Structure 1
Amino acid sequence: MAVLSRRVRPDDWKPVGVDALEANALKVVRSADNRSVIAGPGAGKTELLAQRAAYLLQTGTAPPPGRILAISFKRDAATNLAARVRQRCHRIHAGRFDSMTFDAFAKGLIDRFGQALPELWRPTPDYEIMFPNDRDYRDFLQQQLGAPPTSVGIYADIQAITVKAFERRHLVGLPLPLEGWPNPTPCQWAADRYWQTSLRSGKTSGLSFPMIGRLVELLLRVNPMARDALRLTYSHLFMDEFQDTTQIQYDLVRTIFLGTDTVITAVGDNKQQIMRWAMAMDDPFTAFDADFAAKRTPLYNNYRSSPELVRIQHVLAQALDARAVAPVSKTVGTIAGDSCAIWDFSTPEVEADRLAAFVAAEMKTQKLGPRDFVLLVRQKAVDYAAVLEPAFAAAGIPLRNEAGTVGTVMLQELLAEEASELVVAILHLAMTKRAGRYWTDCQEALAALRGVAPDEEAAQTKLARELDAYVIKLSAAHPNPPKTKAIAQSIVDDILAFIGRERLIAVHPAYGQGSWLEKVLDAVAVHLLVSSADGIDWSSALDAYEGIHAIPLMTIHKSKGLEYHSVIFVGLDDGAWWSFSNDQVEATAGFFVAFTRAKQRVVFTYCARRGSRTKIATLYELLSKAGVQSVRVA
């Protein structure tokens, strides 16, 4: 329960909502200096940052009107941290905590101040977000660009630029020069042509998020007033999942906060770095420690996994970092038999049947629900789902491919979208019984959208009356879940009209660019209709929307930050890990991430029909070293 809004003396402050924190975590919570926190799986990284926010806000160490900024790599991490702070703090305190992704932070700044950029680098105000891939860069370099001026080089110089290096090293590899490149190399000339084409070739500019990051860094470098406004606003900065920070993001943080009084806490795990393909720095912790004189502080406890799983995890961790210290499990093992095994199957069909039977039996004997399990794959989840889904359905357990798409939006991303979450919360409040917790969520979300402060009692009361009246009207208009797309769309449109489209865009700027909001709202309507197909009432339809009673299937990358009683990793073979030899460190880190999602059990499956296991022999050797046995399943 959140504490009152009165100030607490620092010496009297105690962790909120938990029995205790490990000694090093408590030191970080109370620290007044910059810290880099190496926190392994299950160490409670989100809880650490939430407790630090509670300490700073409740003791006045972060005095009003100053705010705390938390920036994360993934949107769900930012959302989870904000929710945890709201649980730990009075709403007046939580109102001074801003949690967002790096991309959202940068985009918000370019939207507010972008027209102050020098003309050479200034995008149109209504710029579009673009997501270029290797094919787009290859087409630009080989088809669109042509030969450079003779003073720069020859056509062969352009053709020699590799697609992989173009974005990472040349386009956004370094801070942008204020007046462009005076004597460009062929690579710089190509980068400049891409920039100017993106900024000027159409009616509206087209920018990727890495490009936005570079523009914002330049903006704040040449506009001290905007930079100083941020420094004055934020007394403390949290950086979550810091191992995934890109050079672009790090340079932006340096430009804003280096040499200031803002206290920075960077938290992450160098053994879980699986985003180097997305331009993550090789070792951001070392750079941060050097630049910001940060004190390295490790956390040792693991609150997620059983002692046996933690023992195996440490063998994997040492393959990634020979200096890794053995963590201490703070939970107990609850299953009989092996906590980890490799199951060999003759065919994918036999594999699917046996896995479904195993999950059904475990649910019964361990009293578990479908969401206590996860099926992880490395890639191409739809191919695995085609075989697994019928087997699980036959066992009476719905399986949901959360890596699949609804319209043009990935399902797992849709469920984390603010628009989707708010629509579902309002529907729960209007259509289901015992929906009290949704009332608080809706009230707080609407207050944020309408700019109503927590201590504005009259305005809060008026908002509550509006919410009550609206949900009564909504439930009367739609007593049953939708049976057509048109009805589903009308429900979503009605809720959006009550929320206020412009208010939603103002608070969540990503919805103001291009057609993203329309794509999300269309996906919400489609998914609501699909979820209502077998539901006789709203409660079951909304449960289906959120996947309450379905076992999730997802990729390793999408499992990051999540946890499950049992993890079943399908496909430990060369076919799934075809690129293992290209970057063994990152691939092993991905393997480590998959393993560490589990609280009690990990099962790896192998089927010779999908591929051999020679290329990934290293992974099998690690498991063998940890004492994990391979079992042939008939």
Structure 2
Amino acid sequence: MNLNASQKKAVFNSTGNVLIKASPGTGKTRTLVARASHKIDSLPKHKSIALITYTNTGADEISSRLEINKNMFIGTIHSFCLEFILRPFSWKYNWARPKVISYELQELFFIENEDIKLDENFGQNKFEELNKIAHKIDGSLNLDVDWNHSKTLQEVSQRYYLFQQTHGVIDFNEILYRSLKLISEQKFIAQSLAAKFYEILVDEFQDTNLYQYSILKELMLNGECSFFMVGDDKQRIFSFAGAIEDSFGNAISDFNATEESLTETYRSTNCIVETYKKLFNNHPSIENESIISNLDIDVIFHETKKVNHEGTIKWFVDELTKKHDVLPEEMAILSTSWYTGFPVSKILRKDYNVVGLGALPHKYINNSTSTLLKSLSRYSIKPNIRNLRSIKRNIDIYLLDNDIAYSEKLLALKTNNLITKFGELNFDEDVIAGLHHIEKLFKNFTGISDSLFEIIRELIPNDEKDYWSLSKYIQAISGVNGIFSDTIHKSKGLEFDAVILNGVNENKIPYQKLIDRSSWTYADLTSEDIENGRNLLYVGLSRAKKYLIILHNWKPSLFIEIIK
């Protein structure tokens, strides 16, 4: 693997606990993969390494670049906690073996508690609202959340926790709470894990929340395991999900970490790099070594009209594909929210393959079943080693979430059978019949019924069922060979030849909460709001390699004048 000087220094010469600051396009993932390979090659006997990612998509990307090794864990902090803390040690507090709550059970919660309405206000998603229910580290209910519902947070949380207990499941917040409680109160657990792992590598460190940070800190305090933490504080965009302030500064102090920086970027034209650098007065110095750095393509700023907003985006897409030969899979439309992004996807999918938000004829349900279906679909379209590894990793997560264990020999047999049978499906049949057959494959694989497929069939509108074949559905859910249309938050770690930023407007970037809809009164902007908006726009701008088109209405974001 070719590395530049700053990457080599980080990979081979950094000792102890290390923080790597990586601006866009500087090879963050390449550096992580190289460091993991280097540590595996020099791994002492009976030791392992762990590579903790922010999302399953990130874990898939890194897994695809590394050889499978039984001494290496790659996954999210939730998967790490399930596998190494909760499953082995829940007995210490007489907790049942943890099973992750499913989308179906969350739906059942609302059915059984029909007086709880968490989507009664404009723009609310009941599942996202439910995810606000969490314990503080001291075990009390976290009341420091934005809760605007007829039922109090205390009442809803009491019923939700009782529901989880009744069904023998826990949610992602509870996974972290219980894991931290175990390793902080039962020191032998932290000591055994710190002894097991030679090094723990952490991706997207800037978005680490308090629980994740505290779990890592407990491991650091109880052994000699080293930490290699990579991220970019300018790309901290998940503060609403609990990302702590100044994670880098805290880690330098708490972990006694040394700081290194990746200083060469390889992604974008000079014009695009200079555009996103303007957002920060103290942007670190980076050298643009991209082979397209000198392409003379201006960044486009365009004011759209409400009456034909989606039509304007469609016009730009047609121009990029027909006049500039940009492939659909090398193009992204990034929106500030699902509310502004969904209509765009709906318009585009009539003429183009679309992946991401609005690509499917129903709301996407994000759980381990749908993730496994997505990886199987991707492999059926692009059968390569990278996608095969993604299937195997997502099978592990699927079994872990459902508390199912197979012997290594039986797992290999069942995995090969699932992949083979999936490839033998009749992709020309209609989507409803096809989903029935996929449901049977999953049941044969685990021996249990998965109600997700029935839910999906019910969610597909009747007027969509007639022209959705299984092939079209597999193409859409695979996430390949189509225009990426989603929120800026979902684009972290991705890059595209062309990016259209949709809705860079006042009240959207930075985000301002609507207080009174009748008078369109918004909350005052805070310094935190401005910082979050700056970081979000920075992420969106820096996804582009060649073409960058920024759309706004008659009231553009305050950042437009800064970057013009």
Q: Same fold (TM over 0.5)?
A: yes
Q: Which residue number in structure 1 is paired with residue 11 of structure 2?
A: 28
Measure, in 1, the Cα distance between the counterparts of 2:175 and 2:159.
Answer: 15
Report the number of matched residues: 509
Alignment pair present for 1:604 and 2:550: yes
Q: Which residue number in structure 2 is paired with residue 420 of structure 1?
A: 373
Alignment pair present for 1:370 and 2:328: yes
Q: Which residue number in structure 2 is paired with residue 550 of structure 1?
A: 482
Match runs of 1:552-631 below 5 Å: 552-577=484-509, 579-580=511-512, 581-582=525-526, 583-608=529-554, 612-613=555-556, 616-617=557-558, 619-623=559-563, 628=564
Alignment pair present for 1:99 and 2:57: no
Q: Which residue number in structure 2 is paired with residue 330 of structure 1?
A: 289
Deviations, residues 495-545 of structure 1 (Å, cap 9, x unaligned): 551x4357xxxxxxxxxxxx9x63378549988x9799466x95x664344
Q: Post-superposition shift, 1:602?
A: 1.4
Measure, in 1, the Cα distance between the counterparts of 2:499 and 2:560.
Answer: 17
Q: Post-superposition shift, 1:294?
A: 0.6
Q: Secondary structure at the match of 1:85?
A: coil
Q: Post-superposition shift, 1:551?
A: 1.6
Q: Post-superposition shift, 1:98?
A: 0.6
Q: Which residue number in structure 2 is paired with residue 342 of structure 1?
A: 301
Among 483, 487, 493, which residue is 2:440 paired with? 493
Among 321, 329, 343, which residue is 1:386 paired with? 343
Q: Secondary structure at the match of 1:409?
A: coil
Return the letter of the residue paired with 1:301. Answer: E
Q: Provide closer, same or farther for how the CA distance between residues 473 and 34 of structure 1 changes in structure 2, counting only shifts above 3 A.
A: closer
Q: Provide closer, same or farther for how the CA distance between residues 452 and 46 of structure 1 changes in structure 2, counting only shifts above 3 A.
A: farther
Q: Post-superposition shift, 1:69?
A: 0.8
Return the letter of the residue paired with 1:242. Answer: F
Q: Provide closer, same or farther for how the CA distance between residues 44 and 398 of structure 1 changes in structure 2, counting only shifts above 3 A.
A: same
Q: Which residue number in structure 1 is paired with residue 522 of structure 2?
A: none
RMSD: 4.3
Q: Provide closer, same or farther for how the CA distance between residues 193 and 217 of structure 1 changes in structure 2, counting only shifts above 3 A.
A: farther
Measure, in 2, the Cα distance between the counterparts of 1:67 and 1:524.
Answer: 43
Q: Which residue number in structure 2 is paired with residue 11 of structure 1?
A: none
Q: Provide closer, same or farther for how the CA distance between residues 210 and 368 of structure 1 changes in structure 2, counting only shifts above 3 A.
A: same
Q: Which residue number in structure 1 is paired with residue 452 of structure 2?
A: 519
* Structure of higher CA gyration radius: 1
Deviations, residues 589-611 of structure 1 (Å, cap 9, x unaligned): 11111111111121111233xxx
Measure, in 2, the Cα distance between the counterparts of 1:196 and 1:452.
Answer: 39
Q: Provide closer, same or farther for how the CA distance between residues 332 and 379 of structure 1 changes in structure 2, counting only shifts above 3 A.
A: same
Q: Which residue number in structure 1 is paired with residue 246 of structure 2?
A: 283
Asked if 2 retains the 8 angstrom alpha-carbon contact of 1:29 and 1:49, the reply is no
212-221 vs 269-278, greater mean Cα deviation: 212-221
Alignment pair present for 1:361 and 2:330: no
Asked if 2 retains the 8 angstrom alpha-carbon contact of 1:348 and 1:607, the reply is no
Asked if 1 retains the 8 angstrom alpha-carbon contact of 2:491 and 2:543, the reply is yes
Q: Post-superposition shift, 1:557?
A: 0.9
Deviations, residues 22-62 of structure 1 (Å, cap 9, x unaligned): 3354333443311011111111111111000111112x2x2
Among 235, 243, 251, which residue is 1:272 paired with? 235
Q: Provide closer, same or farther for how the CA distance between residues 544 and 281 of structure 1 changes in structure 2, counting only shifts above 3 A.
A: closer
Deviations, residues 587-632 of structure 1 (Å, cap 9, x unaligned): 1111111111111121111233xxx23xx32x02311xxxx3xxxx
Q: Post-superposition shift, 1:334?
A: 7.4
229-238 vs 543-552, greater mean Cα deviation: 543-552
Measure, in 2, the Cα distance between the counterparts of 1:439 and 1:386.
Answer: 30
Asked if 2 retains the 8 angstrom alpha-carbon contact of 1:425 and 1:438, the reply is no
Alignment pair present for 1:309 and 2:265: no
Q: Which residue number in structure 1 is paired with residue 90 of structure 2?
A: 114
Percent identical pairs in the alignment equals 17
Asked if 2 retains the 8 angstrom alpha-carbon contact of 1:123 and 1:199, the reply is no
Deviations, residues 560-583 of structure 1 (Å, cap 9, x unaligned): 111111111111222534734241
517-526 vs 244-253, greater mean Cα deviation: 517-526
Measure, in 2, the Cα distance between the counterparts of 1:584 and 1:492.
Answer: 46
Gaps of 5+ in 1: 1-15, 143-166, 181-189, 430-434, 454-458, 503-514, 629-634
Gaps of 5+ in 2: 117-130, 142-151, 400-404, 513-524
Q: Provide closer, same or farther for how the CA distance between residues 223 and 40 of structure 1 changes in structure 2, counting only shifts above 3 A.
A: same
Q: Provide closer, same or farther for how the CA distance between residues 100 and 125 of structure 1 changes in structure 2, counting only shifts above 3 A.
A: closer
Q: Post-superposition shift, 1:230?
A: 1.2
Q: Provide closer, same or farther for how the CA distance between residues 245 and 524 of structure 1 changes in structure 2, counting only shifts above 3 A.
A: farther
Return the letter of the residue paired with 1:261. Answer: E
Q: Which residue number in structure 2 is paired with residue 84 of structure 1?
A: 65
Alignment pair present for 1:253 and 2:211: no
Measure, in 2, the Cα distance between the counterparts of 1:21 and 1:246.
Answer: 31
Return the letter of the residue paired with 1:50. Answer: V
Q: Post-superposition shift, 1:341?
A: 2.2
Q: Post-superposition shift, 1:290?
A: 0.9
Q: Post-superposition shift, 1:266?
A: 0.7
Asked if 2 retains the 8 angstrom alpha-carbon contact of 1:198 and 1:205, the reply is no
Asked if 2 retains the 8 angstrom alpha-carbon contact of 1:492 and 1:525, the reply is no
Q: Provide closer, same or farther for how the CA distance between residues 364 and 496 of structure 1 changes in structure 2, counting only shifts above 3 A.
A: farther
194-203 vs 326-335, greater mean Cα deviation: 194-203
Q: Post-superposition shift, 1:425?
A: 5.6
Measure, in 2, the Cα distance between the counterparts of 1:41 and 1:546.
Answer: 26
Among 253, 261, 271, which residue is 1:298 paired with? 261
